[in-house]
Amino acid sequence: MQKVYDLVVVGAGIAGCSIAYTAQKENKRVLIIDKASTPATGGSGAAGAFISPKLGIESPLLNLTNLAFGYSSNFYKTNFPKYFDQSGIVRLPKDAKDAKNFEYYKSIIDANSKILTPDELKQFGVKSQFDSLYFRDGGVCDAQGICKVMVEDVEYLQMELSSLEYKEDNWILNSQIEAKNVVLATGYIGYKDLLGYMGINGVWGSRGDFYTNSDIKVCMHQNISVSALHNGIIKIGATHVRSKNPCMVCDGEPLKGLIAKAKELANIDELTLKETFCGMRSSSRDHFPTIGKIIDTKYMLENYPNIKKGYNKAPLKHFKNLYVFNGLGGRGFVFAPLMAKWLYAHIFEDENIDSKVSPDRLFLKWARKL
């Protein structure tokens, strides 16, 4: 073992690629490992990767999501313009009642937005009876392309992490790689012993890429998303199914409902399926990302058994220099760039992590249920 990495990232989805990219840019010695030979084979490879704001009543989650929306759209446009189609995104009301809220939604989101009338929407290829909200900065990423390009200058190793030991101030991965800091960005699968208290759930999704001649000029979202036409293709997604086991084969069946819905939203004549994508989103219970130091739960339960009965004064003990980057749910491409910035500052610049995203918020609730 000659090299000691400043950072080893486990998992090359959008979470892992974003933190690896951020650290590499700051001249850290970084290695990214994944059990697959290329990035984006997990949930990130399946994603439609729409960059869209969150609409609704003002809340901490809405504010964080929309902060991340502004940050990510600018990040992709500046750093990876070839992989980000910033055609704008229209958010369509579900019904007349929903439409009445759109002026309010507009007023609470700090983004470049505009109400469009049904006639204006028609020119973009969008069908709607109601005024809708257009965000110029939104768009859609090439999910696999963006993950790959982010880590093109980062050392990459195909390897499944099977052991992690802390020895003499460094982490040793699979008895062969030595690192000062390790980030587990492993998505839905893995590490229940270390990460179980975070309660990450799997939400299965399918989506499709379709050939079409229909000239859709803008991305749109109601309860599904349809992209603008790009190189003769539109993306339609996605289904949401709570699931424990990833389905490994997909025959396109789940897409039938999506196609029918897309034709209601957009002026689409014909569609020919190019490819189906399926994958697991990893979601936290409160829908906030889960980013930061990992608690040593075994130590905590052995030393403070009353935690199970509600004792909440015990000082939390974290593993040294071991971090998680997970729980990005259905908005991995929206959250990842900002969360990577925060995580980098936490690891290398001693900045505190925001308590809304810190895994600490999940520990006591979990312990009380044991």
Ligand X SMILES: Cc1cc2nc3c(=O)[nH]c(=O)nc-3n(C[C@H](O)[C@H](O)[C@H](O)COP(=O)(O)OP(=O)(O)OC[C@H]3O[C@@H](n4cnc5c(N)ncnc54)[C@H](O)[C@@H]3O)c2cc1C
Task: Determine, following the binding rule CB under 6 A, whether residue 16 of this chain makes contact with ligand X.
Answer: yes
Cβ density class 190-207: b for 16+ within 10 Å, e for less:
bbeebbebbbbbbbbbbb
Helices within the chain (DSSP H only) = 14-25, 43-46, 60-79, 96-99, 102-108, 118-124, 143-150, 192-195, 255-265, 297-303, 332-348, 363-368
Q: Which is nearer to ligand X, 322 or 367 (CB)?
A: 322
x-marked contacts with ligand X along 74-113 as a string, rule CB under 6 A = ----------------------------------------
Q: Among the candidate windows 39-47, 267-275, 296-304, 362-370, which touches ligand X by CB under 6 A?
A: 39-47
What is the spatial distance between Cα 215 and Cα 229, in angstroms, rounded to a whole number?
6
x-marked contacts with ligand X along 276-315 as a string, rule CB under 6 A = ---x-xx---------------------------------
Q: Which of 160, 165, 264, 351 binds ligand X (CB under 6 A)?
A: 160
Q: Which of residues 198-237 bind ligand X (CB under 6 A)?
A: 205-207, 225, 237
What would the two tokens of residue 33 be? Answer: 């490992």
Task: Determine, following the binding rule CB under 6 A, whether residue 33 of this chain makes contact with ligand X.
Answer: yes
Q: Among the candidate windows 103-111, 179-187, 306-314, 342-350, which touches ligand X by CB under 6 A?
A: 179-187
Strand-strand pairing, 233-237 and 201-211? antiparallel
Q: Which of 189, 233, 301, 345 binds ligand X (CB under 6 A)?
A: 189
What is the spatial distance between Cα 150 and Cα 67, in angstroms, rounded to a whole number?
21
What is the nearest approach in angstroms of ligand X to the Cβ of residue 157? 9
What is the spatial distance between Cα 212 and Cα 232, in angstroms, rounded to a whole number?
6
DSSP secondary structure of 284-310: -TTS--EEEEEE-HHHHHHH-GGGGGT
Q: Among the candidate windows 36-44, 77-85, 193-201, 265-273, which touches ligand X by CB under 6 A?
A: 36-44
Q: Which of residues 320-349 bind ligand X (CB under 6 A)?
A: 326, 328-334
Q: Which of 151, 238, 339, 367 binds ligand X (CB under 6 A)?
A: 238
Q: Which of 20, 23, 48, 102 binds ligand X (CB under 6 A)?
A: 48
Task: Determine, following the binding rule CB under 6 A, whether residue 14 of this chain makes contact with ligand X.
Answer: yes
- Establish whether the linkage from the previous residue to 260 is cis, with ω within 30° of 0: no
What is the spatial distance between Cα 164 and Cα 320, in angstroms, rounded to a whole number?
12
Q: Which is nearer to ligand X, 120 or 209 (CB)?
A: 209
What is the spatial distance between Cα 41 and Cα 188, in angstroms, rounded to a whole number?
12
Residue 366: Cβ within 10 Å count: 16
Name beta bridge partners: 164: 173
Residue ranges in contact with ligand X by CB under 6 A:
10-16, 33-36, 41-44, 46-50, 160-161, 185-190, 205-207, 225, 237-238, 279, 281-282, 326, 328-334
